[in-house]
Amino acid sequence: MKDAYNRTIDYVRIAVTDRCNLRCFYCMPENGIPYEPRPHLLSYEEITRLLNVLSTLGFSKVRFTGGEPFLRKDFMQLLENTANATDFQSIHITSNGTLLEKHIPKLKDLGITKINLSIDTLDPERFKTITRRDDFEKVMRCFHLLLENNFQVKLNAVIMAGINTQDIVPLAKLAERYPVSVRFIEEMPFNGGYKQNVKMFSAQAIRTTLENHFGTLTPLPGLHGDTATEFSLPGHLGQIGIIAAFSRTFCNTCNRLRIGPKGEIKSCLYDDGVFNIRDFMRSGVSDVELTEKFEEIIRLKPKDGFEAERMRKAPNTAMKSMSSIGG
């Protein structure tokens, strides 16, 4: 399905919960965010229904995220349903890696092998400062277990001025020994009100830091809908990438739609929710009506993140936590 700017929209990201066991300070305040009561969340049957409707519109890729998706008790059931009862071939998960380990065998059985793990530093003390939890060893163990089990792993690191810029090169060096894509993300102002003004360490500054160490980087050809500019490094098993999440330089190839824990649809990360599909579904609509609603939402997808931001009803982006948006 194409939007008004001739972009093919075929990728949905679903935040299955707004709850999290970490407290990354770029994402939420120390005391967390007010969580939605369980009945407010989309049930896994509702999510499966939405996926089936979206696949009739040509969607082929889904990413489950959150909050921490593995905190949700019926998450494995949802994955099983997605793998067995929908046409989605490309099933991805973004996780903080603290609760994932015991699910590795089942994920393999289901053929779900594409996992993004978030890790912003290789220094255990800094990890504790950033996430406000002492789980570095757990996350690293999960990383190694995933690789041993032949998962396709990408690492996400949010880079913050004055906090973890010294981690850029050590994290990138993981791509030397391991077949992973290490991606550096610009910090965005979605932190649940923790701080209003984000002093961004830009994609260009990240690239300069990498080039100062590794020499000139030549971008690899982009794939459909890529947000990361990827680079290979000579002699490295993996690759590195930079995601200009705040500069928003990739909007012209955007291929995605987001569904939040309560069914709020965002056709752009920077809008403040364009429609509540949970309420619409719970009002008893048919699959045809759901399909037509998605068509309308996709047609109205804004040109880019700047336009979406201008159209917001609630102007303060920082009040929203990425945990309830689904990063």
User: By the criterion CB under 6 A, which residues form the site for ligand SAM?
Assistant: 20, 26-27, 65-66, 68, 94-96, 118, 156, 158, 185, 187-188, 190-191, 245, 322-323, 327
Q: Interface with ligand SF4 includes 68 (CB under 6 A)?
A: yes
Q: Cα torsion at 302, 308, 314, 320 (round to 10°)?
A: 110
**Strands of the sheet with 256-259, listed across from one edge:** 228-232, 239-243, 181-186, 152-159, 114-118, 90-95, 61-65, 11-15, 256-259, 264-266, 275-276
Q: Is 67 in the site for ligand SF4 (CB under 6 A)?
A: yes
Between residues 289 and 304, which has the closer beta carbon with respect to ligand SAM?
Answer: 304
Closest distance to ligand SF4 from the beta carbon of 212 (Å) = 28
Amino acid at 287: D
Q: Does 118 bind ligand SF4 (CB under 6 A)?
A: yes
Beta carbon nearer to ligand SAM, 191 or 209: 191
Piece of the chain touching ligand SF4 by CB under 6 A; list 64-72, 109-117, 174-182, 215-223: 64-72
The distance of closest approach from Cβ of residue 200 to ligand SAM in the complex, given in angstroms and rounded to an integer, is 9
Is residue 22 near ligand SF4 by the rule CB under 6 A? yes
Q: What are the E-state strand segments in the chain?
A: 11-15, 61-65, 90-95, 114-118, 152-159, 181-186, 228-232, 239-243, 256-259, 264-266, 275-276
Report strand pairing: 114-118 vs 228-232.
Answer: unpaired
Half-sphere exposure of 320 (CA within 13 A, CB side): 21
Least Cβ distance, residue 56 to ligand SF4 (angstroms): 31
Residues that bind ligand SF4 (CB under 6 A): 20, 22-24, 27-28, 66-68, 96, 118, 322-323
